[in-house]
Amino acid sequence: MAFTFRTKARSTIHEFELIRALHRRHGRHTPSVIQGIGDDAAVITSQAGQWTVLTTDLLIEGVHFDLRTATMADIGFRAATANLSDVAAMGGTPQHLLVALAIPRTGTSRHVHQLYRGMMAACRPHHVGLIGGDTSASSDVWFLSVTLIGVVPSRKALFRSGARIGDLLYVTGTIGDSLAGLRLLSEPPPHAKRHSHASALSTRHRQFLIGRHLRPTARVAEGQWLSTHRFATSGIDISDGLSGDLRHICEGSHVGADLHLGALPLSPACRAYAASRKLDPVDLALTGGEDYELLFTVSPRQRPRLEQSALKQEFSLTCIGKIHPLRFGVQAMSPHGRRHRLANTSYTHFT
């Protein structure tokens, strides 16, 4: 149903005008779009030999984001990245975006355009175009639902269920940065505390970690590379935290795993943050979600080809463990060689 409302900010949002403006500013057509924004539904072409990949994410103000620590553009960027990363984790190529939005009375059309600017900034490098959505008024907070459509060559999709005993466990990039960035954003500003430990962290490290939280990178090229070369037997993106996402692979594949904590790829900034707060950076890496790196398994026979090819592509990968039989469970080995069962310490909304 159409809506018009006068926002607290005294601007009037008219649904159809807003949609027209979104179409004008953000609706770009790629060759596979037959009909984008402007009809009852979008129409896209499909190709023989390809599977369709679909993912959707619902974000609610106060639950998933906080407007005191992120701009509308940051929220849009992160929302799009979460979906791009889901397609990447399937080994797919993202193509089309649909966005459903509920706007509170405090919202203005400027907020909406900033949100879309952020989303499209994340999508542009991947040539993903906006093809539709839905718009509503909300009684109190912002709701944002992002749906992404992509493709993967038939039979090359990367599932959580393909890990085999003896496979090696790999991760892209560095992990723990996003949680460190979130914690920095949630702290009082550095000057507010007299004995601030913020001074122990350089501005460069601080900015890097906050950037990793607000503007994460979806590893789309890496996911495509893993699936097209059939390097990976299984894969997942790290959205809940390494310990939880590893568990998803183990449950999906009916296997156990041994994680080498000394091998976890930690950025210098994450290490510096942990040192300044007297924390163990490994805990940040295990529990921190939203790094959007890929966690995947590789047969040991593929190791030389994988690592050579990664070097050539300039992809950053680290081997962090090995797949074991189910009865082994999920264990972690400390840098000193001591083993313990890995607690599931990932973030969950329902505790």
Q: Which is nearer to Mg ion, 134 or 280 (CB)?
A: 134
**Could you say which of ligand ADP, Mg ion, none residue 99 binds, taking C-beta under 5 to 8 angstroms by partner kind?**
ligand ADP
Taking the complex as a whole, the smallest distance from the CB of residue 74 to Mg ion amounts, in Å, to 26
User: Within a 10 A sphere around the Cβ of 110, how many other Cβ atoms?
Assistant: 11
Contacted entry of Mg ion, ligand ADP, none for residue 101, CB cut-off 5 to 8 Å set by kind: ligand ADP
Question: Using CB distances below 5 to 8 A depending on partner kind, what does residue 19 bind out of ligand ADP, Mg ion, none?
Answer: ligand ADP
Token couple for 76: 């849009």
> From the CB of 39, what's the least distance to ligand ADP, in Å?
6
* Phi and psi based region of residue 180 (left: phi greater than 0; alpha: psi -120 to 50; beta: remaining): alpha
By a kind-dependent CB cut-off of 5 to 8 A, residue 346 interacts, out of ligand ADP, Mg ion, none, with: none
Task: Give the 3-state secondary structure of residue 177.
Answer: helix
DSSP labels for 207-240?
Answer: HHHHHHHHS----HHHHHHHHHTT-EEEEEE-SS
Query: Is 116 or 225 the residue whose CB approaches ligand ADP more closely?
Result: 116
Interacting residues with Mg ion (CB under 5 A): 134
Q: How far is the CB of 17 from ligand ADP (least distance, A)?
A: 11
Whichever of 38 and 300 has its CB closer to Mg ion, that residue is 38
Instruction: Decide: 178 and 212 in contact? Cβ < 8 Å.
Output: yes
Partner touching 79 among ligand ADP, Mg ion, none, CB below 5 to 8 Å by kind: none
Q: Provide CB contacts within 8 A for 62, sequence distance 6+.
A: 141
Q: Which residue is nearest to Mg ion (CB)?
A: 134
Q: How far is the CB of 188 from Mg ion (least distance, A)?
A: 42
**Binding region for ligand ADP (CB under 6 A):** 19, 22, 37-40, 99, 101, 130, 132-135
Q: Determine the length of the chain.
A: 351
User: Which residues have C-beta within 8 Å of that of residue 313, sequence separation ≥ 6?
Assistant: 221, 225
- For ligand ADP, which is the closer residue by CB, 99 or 255? 99
**Cα separation, 336 vs 348, whole angstroms:** 30
User: Least CB distance from residue 239 to ligand ADP, whole Å?
Assistant: 24
- Separation in Å, CA 174 to CA 160, 165, 170, 238, 320: 21, 25, 11, 11, 12
Of 136 and 154, which has the nearer Cβ to ligand ADP?
Answer: 136
Residue 43: both structure tokens together:
């129409």
Min. distance of Cβ 262 from Mg ion in angstroms? 52
**Which of 19, 332 has the CB closer to ligand ADP?**
19
Q: Could you tell me which residues are beta bridge partners of residue 129?
A: 96
